[in-house]
Chains A and B, each alone.
Chain A
Amino acid sequence: MSTVSAVRTIVLWCPDWPVTAAARAHGLDASQPLALTDRGTVFACSAAAREEGVRRGLRIREAQSRCTELVVLAYDALLDQRIFEPVLTAIENIMPGVQPLRPGTCAIRAQGPSRYYGGEAQAAKVLLDALEAMGISGAKVGIADGPFTAEQAARLSGAHATGIVAAGEAAAFLAPLPLAVLDRPELSSVLLRLGIRCLGDFAALPERDVLVRFGEDGARAHLLARGLDKTDVAPRTPPPQLEVAQDFEPPLDRIDQVTFAFRRSAEGFVAGLREAGLVCTGLKILMHTESGQVQEREWLHPRWFTADDVLDRVRWQLQGAGAVEQGLGSRITRVQVLPEAVDEAANHDEGLWGSAPEEGIHSGLSRVQSMLGHGAVLTALIAGGRMLADRRVLVPWGDAAPGGEAAIAAKRSRPWPGNLPGPSPATVYEQPQPVQVLDEDGSSVDVDERGLLSAPPARFCGTEGGKAASADTAWHRVQSWAGPWPITERWWDAAGRRLHRFQLTDTEGGAWLLLLENHSWWAEASYD
């Protein structure tokens, strides 16, 4: 066995990291009772919840009965990782060579920082201050020989938040600890049955016998128990910074100013991706306003984003439905662009004779989009529904259909009783147009509660602003008609609709689809 001494290591441990991460992501206070659930049971809970008796592994209902004001969120492992990433970056700014052990825990070689900051205790304080500045409280730091001992020191640091085990005293520190800290349940259970109850007892066993009886893994556990953890810290290589952010000081209040100022950053974003051999096919834009709000939106691209495309998305997101010259509600302090989906640039290379013919279509439509806004260029899908307006789904060019095309196709294939028979009308009004339908005597046609028609319709005309046209020429004589076809949508719901449909043809050869709802007539569509 070699006698290389263990490396002095700093371990930073954030207790209940999943809870901290979820609280940060959802903008909650981590000090309130909070529980994360995974498959119906509590996976992690905050300290406040633990005081009320919530434990890991409890069923949600049981946890809620113990603590009535418990906030329950679903556990998301990716979220842990994602929220920890900026923490790692912040630590890398003050101490180089960080190895993430798992979300919430990381190891750093102690030698450099302790010399730079003038001592191990000072280095630990700098680290804790940095986390405090990020708004993460309750973190613990342990410094000892090897990551294992350092982590145990962090866990046992108590209210002081810093546990330092002097060099060479690891074995003495670890001796009274229970076997559970080894995180080897099978080994622990055998050792317990052999009458070994703490790490000190285990460390006292002869090394050779442990190797023979428990194999390689047992021998490694034995080394840990003796405080001879020789694992070195393997610092991670910081990933390339692909996201870009730009702060505006003073904050900008006009859309054209923001887009103009962001142009350089957008070009930098695309250039950075290109250097990494990537193209971005989906991104997320975050806008921080002066009032402290963050507005975020994801954008997809049918091909990949160029700098101009990124700028267009920034402009559209700011603009909402307004015009380019319009002022903003709150001034913008920071614009951040994060790549959400990237792909190898090689997959998108242009062929020798240019790329697909669709490319021209796409660039032409993008031009129109940058003139009129993202939502002005649409593609259409047919969905299911009784009303004609429900059957039309319009998707902005470049976006995915809401809910996916498969969901829309499934909706379309449902039976929809009350659906319109026969050919579809060529003109479907965006908003139903008010009309007036009269019988031979000149009184308005209506349908009673039993669905009976008061009189056959004889003539009808469009009304504007509720006023009927007076000239005789505006009236259409009814030639043939059919109805009423009752439609009752969601009768159990106050927002449901009850109406009657009619088809009418006039003497000039026009055909119309009319609605009668609440005793007033509307033109839904025209077969022109």
Chain B
Amino acid sequence: MEPLLESPFGEASESAPAAAGAAAAASQVSTLQARIRQMQERRLGSKSIPTMPALARILPGGALQAGAAYSVLGSASLGMALLSGPSAAGAWCSVVGIPSFGIEAAARCGINLERLVLVPDPGNQWLTVTAALMDVMSLVLMRPPSKVSASDASRLGARLRQRGSTLIALGEWPQSEATLRIENSSWDGLGSGHGHLQARLVTVSAGARSRGGKPRTARFWFPDRDQADLDLGLRAPELSAAGLPGLSPAPQPPLLEPTSPLRELPFKAAVNS
């Protein structure tokens, strides 16, 4: 939850002369903040589910919430990144209406394929199919059709809250908790006529409804070099010579085992609110 009203109370406490008075004011501030936070809770017992740390920092509530809908614009791999945390923790995930879902990329970013169900072509029954999958799956990644009516979205939203499942829509979704998009991305490893794609530095922004649409951004490597090297079994020496700080020589995970995507990222994710 956002610490609302922080700055005006903070300024007031600075201007108080007595130290004891300041302490009393600070405790009053914290109780008031707690009350506000409590009153702002829209759901009872909203549950966080494991999320990739770099994305968790910019999501409202500090993690993906069970029973909420999120919208991801223009990037399938960002959708995979959101699935990877819960899937590696043992949750069942399903992918609806995305026939081009790259399962190899999914496996490399940590999604357990044994607990992944694909419904590539739900046709005009997408709403029923998605609702049926929400009953049993912890996460549903879905590409909604071009026009989703607000009533359909709210019906699915009610179902989500009831079942405690999470919807990630690859596209515009009305009433989404947060909208994630890749603001900026730059690929590494490809020259003009030589090299190959190795890693990507992305800037992801998340605009949350509860923050009034003000986006937070995080900058991190995705996919990182570990992921790229996963099946090469070796690290190319010129990569570390390229002067990338913090590239710790992590032990190579076995090929296509559900690796933990929550491992430390080579770059510290910078969070700007």
Q: Which residues of A contact B (CB under 8 A)?
A: 360-361, 363-365, 367-368, 371-372, 376-382, 388, 391-392, 394, 397, 412, 421-430, 453, 456, 480-483, 503, 505, 509-511, 525, 527-528
B-side contacts of A509, CB under 8 Å: 182, 184-187
**Is B125 in the interface zone, CB < 8 Å from A?**
yes
B-side contacts of A423, CB under 8 Å: 105, 108, 197-200, 223, 227-228
Query: Which among B116-124, B154-162, B243-251 touches the partner chain?
Result: B116-124
A-side contacts of B74, CB under 8 Å: 528
A379 touches B192 (CB 8 A): no
Contact of A505 among B92, B99, B197 (CB under 8 A): B197
A371 touches B132 (CB 8 A): yes
**Is B35 in the interface zone, CB < 8 Å from A?**
no
**Is B103 in the interface zone, CB < 8 Å from A?**
yes
**Is B189 in the interface zone, CB < 8 Å from A?**
yes
Q: A423-B227, A511-B187 are in contact. Are A360 and B136 (CB under 8 A)?
A: yes
Nearest chain B CB to A418's CB is how many angstroms away? Answer: 13
Interface of A is mostly: mixed
B118 touches A427 (CB 8 A): no
Q: Specify the chain B residue showing the minimal Cβ separation from A323.
A: B123
- Tell me, in angstroms, the Cα distance from A521 to B137 when the chains sit together: 39
Chain B positions 171 through 205: 1 when the CB is less than 8 Å from some CB of chain A, otherwise 0: 00000000000101111011111111111100000
Q: Specify the chain A residue showing the minimal Cβ separation from B111.
A: A380
Nearest chain B CB to A527's CB is how many angstroms away? Answer: 6
Interface CB pairs A-B, < 8 A, 26: A364-B135, A364-B136, A367-B132, A371-B129, A377-B117, A379-B114, A379-B116, A379-B118, A380-B113, A380-B118, A382-B104, A392-B104, A394-B118, A422-B197, A423-B198, A423-B199, A424-B108, A425-B102, A453-B193, A480-B191, A480-B192, A480-B195, A481-B193, A505-B190, A527-B197, A528-B75
Nearest chain B CB to A128's CB is how many angstroms away? Answer: 57
B136 touches A361 (CB 8 A): yes
B-side contacts of A482, CB under 8 Å: 190-191, 193-196
A380 touches B103 (CB 8 A): yes
A382 touches B113 (CB 8 A): yes
Q: A423-B197, A503-B196 are in contact. Are A381 and B105 (CB under 8 A)?
A: no
Listed from nearest, the 5 A-B pairs whose CB atoms lie closest are A364-B136, A426-B77, A509-B185, A424-B105, A426-B76
B105 touches A364 (CB 8 A): no
Interface residues on B, range: 35 or more
A376 touches B122 (CB 8 A): yes
Nearest chain A CB to B231's CB is how many angstroms away? Answer: 9
Contact of A371 among B121, B125, B182, B194 (CB under 8 A): B125
Nearest chain A CB to B220's CB is how many angstroms away? Answer: 14
B-side contacts of A427, CB under 8 Å: 76, 100-102
B-side contacts of A367, CB under 8 Å: 132
- Tell me, in angstroms, the Cα distance from A428 to B191 when the chains sit together: 23
Q: A372-B122, A380-B103, A388-B102 are in contact. Are A528 and B77 (CB under 8 A)?
A: yes
- Tell me, in angstroms, the Cα distance from A259 to B240 when the chains sit together: 64
B-side contacts of A365, CB under 8 Å: 117, 133, 136
Q: A372-B123, A423-B198, A480-B191 are in contact. Are A378 and B75 (CB under 8 A)?
A: no
Nearest chain A CB to B93's CB is how many angstroms away? Answer: 11
- Tell me, in angstroms, the Cα distance from A382 to B107 when the chains sit together: 9
- Tell me, in angstroms, the Cα distance from A482 to B200 when the chains sit together: 16
- Tell me, in angstroms, the Cα distance from A319 to B29 when the chains sit together: 67
Q: Specify the chain A residue showing the minimal Cβ separation from B194.
A: A482
**Is B128 in the interface zone, CB < 8 Å from A?**
yes
B232 touches A421 (CB 8 A): yes
**Is B66 in the interface zone, CB < 8 Å from A?**
no
- Tell me, in angstroms, the Cα distance from A157 to B56 when the chains sit together: 88
- Tell me, in angstroms, the Cα distance from A525 to B83 when the chains sit together: 20
**Is B139 in the interface zone, CB < 8 Å from A?**
no
Q: A422-B198, A482-B194 are in contact. Are A372 and B129 (CB under 8 A)?
A: yes
B75-107 interface (Cβ within 8 A of A): 75-77, 80, 92, 99-107
Q: Specify the chain A residue showing the minimal Cβ separation from B122.
A: A372
Nearest chain A CB to B71's CB is how many angstroms away? Answer: 16
Nearest chain A CB to B184's CB is how many angstroms away? Answer: 6
**Is B36 in the interface zone, CB < 8 Å from A?**
no
**Is B262 in the interface zone, CB < 8 Å from A?**
no
**Is B256 in the interface zone, CB < 8 Å from A?**
yes
B-side contacts of A379, CB under 8 Å: 113-114, 116-118
- Tell me, in angstroms, the Cα distance from A412 to B103 when the chains sit together: 14
B102 touches A525 (CB 8 A): yes
Contact of B77 among A422, A456, A527 (CB under 8 A): A527
Contact of A368 among B99, B133, B200 (CB under 8 A): B133
A-side contacts of B92, CB under 8 Å: 361
- Tell me, in angstroms, the Cα distance from A481 to B192 when the chains sit together: 5
B-side contacts of A525, CB under 8 Å: 102
A-side contacts of B106, CB under 8 Å: 426
B105 touches A371 (CB 8 A): no
A-side contacts of B256, CB under 8 Å: 382, 412
